[in-house]
Amino acid sequence: MGSCSKKLRLDFLPDCRFVAYMTASKDNPHSMEIVSKLFFLITAKLEDGAWHAANAQCASLNASAASKRAEDMRDLGEEIMILAGAIVTICEV
C-alpha cells in the first residue's frame, strides 16, 4: 500500500471511541451525565419559550412583533426537538 493510500485510510477512519461513548448503555454514568445536561438545556429552552409567550400576550403587540415572537418560539421548538432526539439516541441500546 502506498503512503498516500495509507494516509487517506487513516484520515477517514471513523472515531470509534466517540460512537461507543455516545451509544453507551443508559446505565453508564457518562452517558447519563450527558442526558442530564441535555435535559437542562431543554429546560432552559422551555423557559425562553415561556418568556416569549408571556411577552407576546400584551394587548399593544403589533403584527410584526407577534410574528417575530412566533418565529423565535418555532426556532426554540426545533432546538428542543434536536436535544430530545439526542437523548433518545443516547438511551437506545
Asked if residue 6 is part of any domain, the answer here is no
- Position 33 in a domain: yes
The reported pLDDT for the residue numbered 86 is: 94
Question: Taking the model in full, what pTM does it have?
Answer: 0.68
Domain with 45, as residue range(s), is: 24-91
Query: Cα torsion for 61, 63, 66, 68, to the nearest 10°?
Result: -130
17 falls within a domain: no
For residue 84, being part of any structural domain is answered with yes
The verdict on residue 50 lying in a domain is: yes
Residue 14 lies in a domain: no
Sorted by sequence, the CB contacts under 8 Å of residue 79 that are 6+ apart come out as 45
Q: What is the pLDDT of residues 30-55, one digit of tens each?
A: 888 999 999 999 999 999 999 999 98
Q: State the Cα–Cα distance between residues 66 and 60, nearest whole angstrom.
A: 10
What is the average pLDDT across 2-11?
Answer: 54
Q: Is 15 a domain residue? A: no
Residue 9 lies in a domain: no
How many CB atoms are closer than 10 A to CB 82? Answer: 13
Number of domains, the chain: 1
